[in-house]
């Protein structure tokens, strides 16, 4: 009983000054009621996960009114303290000794209850100067920065994308898709406060509106990813066994909780009949029936064992191995439907088949499963990011290596090009020399042809000279023979002439003597 718990815990009484201070921040008017949006925004400053805060809300909002009174808000504060100290988030933990809950600084203008001087801008001059330096470094055009230029700065903060989207929406006061110098300062201020653990507000607090923008109507900004839904947009509801509707847990706003407003497939008359069977079957009176307890009832239907096993699996929603009263009624409903109309049990329970008492737990299970899927997806994305980072680093190393190789090859290419130019010059010189030599060769060839012709002519003359020489030799031999013959004749004549000469001489001598 919540009331008995309140009485047992002195820290939950209205006399605790810390709890009273926190309550005044969420209910400054003293209305006695804390709206879901205000309570959720305040409790989120505890730093606890949304799933934990959702459980705290369920325990505190026991009447499902969608708001908290003062004592219920104290319960929420105490459960926050339990969660922060590692204790179980349950009503039984309220009686345990625990330190006071801790929340982020409440003096920030981003949070309810913040204190600021009217007319002053919370962005201090030294901060503004730093923000202006960053603004100027992004090369603004006509004193404005586009979203593309601001985006890398925001992403560099490593804040969630939905938070950064809300920062942009709050900062772009005139909705022109660009930020001027003062709007950029607001964005940077929100980013730095978020990095310090403060929540980004739903709408821009008055102290954060730049003085240059305060002449305009108050700015109320719908967030890109709201922390809480506005009451008119809430379509989900929870049902108790009696079918009464209640407001949703504000921490489950962005999870697709199936609607529970469907009328149950088991009609009230059938439910009454099935309850009578359940009362006879639940021998140990624990509110649950096990497989052995319902075995005979199921087998007497004559349905195949595989069909009965599938019906049991569908109805055992909590995988406990036992069925509650409503789950048992649903099982008999599916069996009766198969026997009377021949309709097979579905592969999965439709929303109207889910027992009313299981719809909230099934929604919570679905949310938990979705959270697990999201966490797994985030792990895979982180792994993918690491792999991509490794690939990028490897590619950067490869690019650096290839750049070095490129520079080396460019240097070698220049050397080869210089060598080619030098060889071209040598080639030109050699071609000129070759042309000159070819001209000389042509001249020499002509000379050779001329000499060959002259040689041929000389050979012909030599042949003629040789023939003439042979003839001359033959003639010489003949003449020599004749000369020899003549010499012999002359010698013979001389031999004959000498005596004659002597005789003539004697004759002349005689004549001379005679003449005398």
The residues spanned by each domain of the chain are 1-93, 125-211, 268-354
Residues of the chain with pLDDT under 70: 1-15, 105-119, 215-262, 360-368
pTM, 2 dp: 0.29
Do the two domains 125-211 and 268-354 of this chain adopt the same fold? yes
pLDDT of res. 218? 39
The CATH class, in words, for 268-354 is mainly alpha
Q: Tell me the fold of 125-211.
A: Recoverin; domain 1 (1.10.238)
| Widest CA span in the chain | 224
pLDDT of res. 224? 32
**Where are the alpha helices (H) located in 265-324, listed in sequence order?**
268-281, 291-299, 305-315
- Answer positive or negative: Cα dihedral of 134, 140, 143, 148: negative
pLDDT of res. 311? 94
Q: Does residue 170 sit in helix, strand or coil?
A: helix
pLDDT of res. 110? 52
Residues 6+ apart with CB under 8 A from 165: 223, 224, 225
pLDDT of res. 356? 85
Q: In angstroms, how far is CA 301 from the centroid of its own chain?
A: 58
The CATH class, in words, for 1-93 is mainly alpha
pLDDT of res. 335? 94
pLDDT of res. 244? 38
Integer Cα distance of 342 and 171 in angstroms = 63
pLDDT of res. 328? 93
């Amino acid at each position: 009983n919540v009331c008995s718990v309140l009485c047992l815990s002195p820290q939950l009484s209205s006399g605790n000054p810390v709890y009273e201070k926190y309550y005044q921040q969420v209910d400054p008017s003293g209305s006695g009621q804390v709206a879901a949006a205000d309570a959720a925004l305040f409790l989120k400053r505890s730093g606890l996960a949304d799933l934990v805060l959702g459980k705290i809300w369920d325990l505190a909002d026991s009447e499902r009114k969608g708001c908290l009174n003062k004592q219920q808000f104290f319960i929420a504060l105490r459960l926050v303290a339990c969660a922060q100290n590692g204790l179980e988030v349950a009503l039984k933990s309220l009686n345990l000794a625990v330190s006071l809950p801790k929340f982020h600084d409440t003096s920030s203008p981003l949070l309810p209850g913040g204190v600021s001087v009217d007319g002053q801008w919370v962005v201090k001059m030294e901060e503004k100067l730093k923000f202006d330096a960053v603004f100027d470094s992004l090369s603004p055009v006509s004193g404005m920065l586009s979203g593309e230029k601001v985006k890398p700065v925001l992403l560099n903060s490593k804040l969630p994308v939905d938070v950064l989207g809300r920062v942009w929406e709050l900062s772009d006061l005139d909705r022109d898709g660009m930020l001027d110098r003062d709007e950029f300062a607001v964005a940077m201020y929100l980013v730095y406060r978020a990095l310090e653990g403060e929540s980004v507000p739903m709408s821009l607090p008055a102290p954060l509106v730049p003085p240059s923008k305060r002449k305009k109507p108050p700015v109320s900004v719908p967030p890109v990813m709201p922390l809480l839904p506005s009451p008119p947009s809430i379509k989900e509801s929870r049902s108790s066994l009696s079918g009464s509707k209640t407001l949703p847990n504000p921490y489950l706003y962005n999870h697709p909780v199936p609607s529970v407003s469907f009328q149950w497939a088991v009609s009230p008359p059938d439910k009454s009949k099935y309850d009578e069977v359940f009362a006879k079957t639940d021998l140990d009176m624990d509110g649950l029936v096990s497989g052995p307890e319902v075995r005979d009832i199921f087998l007497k239907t004559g349905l195949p064992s595989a069909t009965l096993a599938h019906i049991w699996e569908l109805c055992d929603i909590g995988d406990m191995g036992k069925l509650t009263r409503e789950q048992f009624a649903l099982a008999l409903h599916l069996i009766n439907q198969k026997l009377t109309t021949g309709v097979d049990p579905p592969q999965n329970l439709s929303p109207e088949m889910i027992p009313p008492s299981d719809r909230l737990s099934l929604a919570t299970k679905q949310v938990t499963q979705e959270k697990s899927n999201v966490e797994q997806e985030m792990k895979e994305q982180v792994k993918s990011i690491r792999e991509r980072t490794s690939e990028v680093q490897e590619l950067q190393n490869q690019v650096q290596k290839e750049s070095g190789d490129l520079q080396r090859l460019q240097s070698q290419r220049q050397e080869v090009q210089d060598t080619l130019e030098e060889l071209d010059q040598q080639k030109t010189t050699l071609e000129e020399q070759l042309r000159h030599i070819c001209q000389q060769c042509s001249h020499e060839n002509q000379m050779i042809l001329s000499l060959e012709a002259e040689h041929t002519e000389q050979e012909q003359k030599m042949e003629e000279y040789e023939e003439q020489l042979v003839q001359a030799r033959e003639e010489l031999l003949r003449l020599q023979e004749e000369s020899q013959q003549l010499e012999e004749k002359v010698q013979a004549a001389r031999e004959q002439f000498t005596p004659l000469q002597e005789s003539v001489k004697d004759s002349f001598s005689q004549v001379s003597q005679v003449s005398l």
